[in-house]
Amino acid sequence: MGAFIKFLNPYDENYEVIEIKVDLVADMTIELLYDFTVSGKVNKLIMNVTDLKTYFKTNVKPKDLGIKVHAMESPFVTAINT
């Protein structure tokens, strides 16, 4: 599954400064409760950078962001499960 991670300009939040396209692989546990409510939990999330769009001049390439994006996996899992 694909997704985008977008960062806003810290000086003016009306503008984006970077958009990172990632492929997501998630290990999830899903339950169907007695009243047909679907409940779930993300156990593990793996994100791989596939593309990068910046709104400023940079020499950064998608492969340069790999380790940094992997570092965001655990905080994202925590945020999703909260």
Q: Would you call 20 exposed, middle or buried from its count of C-beta atoms within 10 A (0-12, 13-18, 19+)?
A: buried
Task: Please tell me the predicted confidence (pLDDT) of residue 7.
Answer: 92
User: Which one, of 24, 23, 18, 11, lies nearest residue 61 by Cα?
Assistant: 18
pLDDT, residue 59, reads 92
Q: Which tokens sit at 14? A: 């009306």
User: For the chain, which residues score pLDDT lower than 50?
Assistant: none
| pLDDT for position 1 | 81
Tally Cβ neighbours within 10 Å of residue 43: 11
Predicted local distance difference test score (pLDDT) of residue 33: 92
Token pair listed for 56? 């400023």
Give the pLDDT confidence score for residue 44 in this predicted structure. 96
Whole-number Å distance between alpha carbons of 71 and 4: 16
